[in-house]
Amino acid sequence: MKRLENKVAIITGGAAGIGAATARKFKEEGANVIIWDLDEIRGNSLAKELGATFAKVNTANYEEIEQEAKAVNDKFGRIDILINNAGITRDSTIKKMTVQQWQQVIDINLSGVFYCSKIISEYMVATGWGRIINASSVVGLYGNFGQANYVATKSAIIGMTKTFAREFGRKGITVNAVAPGFISTEMVAAMPEEVLAGMKSKVPIGRLGDPKEIANVYAFLSSEEASYINGHTISVDGGMTV
């Protein structure tokens, strides 16, 4: 039997990058994959490729999440796994950062995780089993110049993960976070070569991570094999935080 056989998994920000790699991994592991993203073209294309389900969902919109979560539960009878992967950056120094840049990142990266977890956990409680995995970041552990908004959300996710783990643990739901390091997504790959070289130099194993390497950890934490791991943040960063 595959690791996630017949599990129902919602992946936010699932149309590209780490989210798309996760959708592919979960499908390989036998899950019923539901991709939530704002990118309809890429989301629908990936869903068609995988035989998955796509819905355009803004995770900063509570009502949209309620509606789409109900649609998933109505279709499959339950929701087993939530991967809170959606996130954005609006980088700027404090001096130049606008209130809008601050609020946009807070709304998606932090409030979105709270909204999705609050709504979807109710379906998990009803069945007595669930996995919630939140995307943090290594910068949430040690900060980063010009990313006060992003770092604030990723640090807060670590604390929120611990709290959720305490609240949901007795209800059969485990909650963990993953803190990726420098991962070779399309956005990163488009950076100048000298910037990429500088990033690689900070990683003890000397390379950027592959989105599949994050997806593998998501899949493990979502499985029965990780049934006694709860409230932790796992750094997947090639040793940056050593």
- Tell me whether residue 76 is exposed, middle or buried, using C-beta atoms within 10 angstroms of its C-beta: 0 to 12, 13 to 18, 19 or more: middle
What DSSP assignment string belongs to 90-154?
A: --B-TTT--HHHHHHHIIIIIIHHHHHHHHHHHHHHHHT-EEEEEE--THHHH--TTBHHHHHHH
Contact (Cβ atoms closer than 8 angstroms) between residue 37 and residue 56: yes
- For residues 112 and 105, give the distance between their C-alpha atoms in angstroms, rounded to a whole number: 10
150 among known catalytic residues: yes
- For residues 43 and 85, give the distance between their C-alpha atoms in angstroms, rounded to a whole number: 14
Give the contacts of 166 (CB within 8 A, at least 6 positions apart): 231
- For residues 59 and 87, give the distance between their C-alpha atoms in angstroms, rounded to a whole number: 9
Catalytic residue among 115, 123, 150, 218: 150
Using DSSP, state whether 242 is helix, strand or coil: coil
Active site residues per annotation: 150
